[in-house]
Amino acid sequence: MKTLALGAVALLALLLAIVLGPAHVALADLATSDIVRSLRLPRAMLAFLVGGALALSGTGLQALVRNPLADPSLLGISGGAGLGAVVAIALHVTNPWTIPLAAFAGALGAMALVYRLGVMGRGGAGLDAATLLLAGVAVGAFAAAVTTAIVSLSDAAQLRNAQLWLWGGLSGASWQTVGLMCAYAPIPILALLASARSLDLLALGEEPARHLGVDVPPLKRRVYVAASLLTAAAVAVSGVIGFVGLVVPHAMRLLWGHRHRPLFPAAFVGGGALLALSDTAARVIVAPRELPVGIVTALVGVPVFVVLLRRWTTS
């Protein structure tokens, strides 16, 4: 029943993303409309894929560091991507593919640096979850400081473009970006799904997990790299979108429990539905203008997270 309900919500979110928009399209013309076929449908699909990737990444990272407050942005990945994109904008790059590539490169750089610092937490003996979290906060803060410095020295047009990107948006969605996500996401997604049973055991602690047959260091590396790559791909095509990777895993745990085999698919679908609905709201609330979708997810995510956190701490 829960699975059917979640599937229905996801389908409704996609339908609303296709039907609603600043330009009116009659229901009878949806199947033949160029607006729907070229703009709304790829944007709805990209929103679903990005939201699913962020939620799945957040679920994996929370299991890795055994901290329910862990989030892709907390580990510096989003900050690195934002810095890469802002550098490209400041250099007056006009190629539409350069900004996503720069964001992806920035995310990979932040991922590598945080991973290196996380390994140093045990003198090189293995990936330390606590050090990983602290390293992510430090790298994210450094990237944010450099990003702010670049933005403050930019002209007005660059400033607006950079700010819009840093708040996230799907206005650049196309069938090409959908294809890139579809080609890129399966490998890290499969890596996370294959780690579900081991993550359940890791929740008992590293020593119990080892005694139950889990090879902990490779598991940590696999989950961290897979979650980071998913986040990097999502941020590269959509900008920095917060709270999806934090709120959705909490909500899905309330419904599906803590076992990762059912939790991972539920988080992906729930995250996709949330971002598709948020992007639809961003397009229609102030139409014909458009809000950055990251603002909508923050406005929705903060009160929802407060409620979830209260339930979490009192349960």
Q: What is the pLDDT along the chain (315 residues), one digit of tens a residue?
A: 788 999 999 999 999 999 988 877 777 777 788 888 888 999 999 999 999 999 999 999 889 888 777 787 777 888 898 888 888 888 877 666 777 788 888 888 998 888 888 777 555 556 677 788 888 888 989 998 998 888 888 776 666 667 777 788 888 888 988 988 898 889 999 999 999 999 999 988 888 888 888 888 889 889 988 998 888 888 888 888 988 998 899 889 888 988 999 999 999 999 999 999 999 999 998 877 888 898 899 888 788 777 766 766 666
pLDDT of residue 117: 83
pLDDT of residue 269: 96
- DSSP character for 68? T
What are the residue boundaries of the structural domains of the chain, listed by start?
Answer: 2-314
Distance CA 241, CA 182 (A): 19
Tokens of 74: 């907390």
- Buried b or exposed e, range 13-31, using 16+ CB within 10 angstroms: bbebbbeebeeebeeeebe
Q: Model's pTM, two decimal places?
A: 0.89
- How far is CA 90 from each of CA 81, 163, 255, rounded to the nearest angstrom? 14, 12, 44
Tokens of 82: 């934002």
- How far is CA 232 from each of CA 36, 185, 238, 273, 304, rounded to the nearest angstrom? 28, 10, 10, 20, 25
pLDDT of residue 303: 82
pLDDT of residue 125: 55
**CA angle (250, 252, 256) in 5-degree steps:** 125
pLDDT of residue 54: 94
Distance CA 93, CA 83 (A): 14
pLDDT of residue 116: 84
| 3-state SS assignment for residue 92 | coil
Residue in this structure with the two tokens 């550098």, named with its chain if needed:
87
Tokens of 175: 């069938």
Spatial contact of 108 and 87, defined as CB atoms under 8 Å apart:
no
Residue type, 25: V
pLDDT of residue 173: 86
pLDDT of residue 204: 87
pLDDT of residue 94: 60
Architecture of the CATH domain 2-314? Orthogonal Bundle (1.10)
Which ranges of 66-97 would DSSP assign to H, the alpha helix?
Answer: 77-90
**For residue 66, which phi and psi values (nearest 5 degrees)?**
50, 45
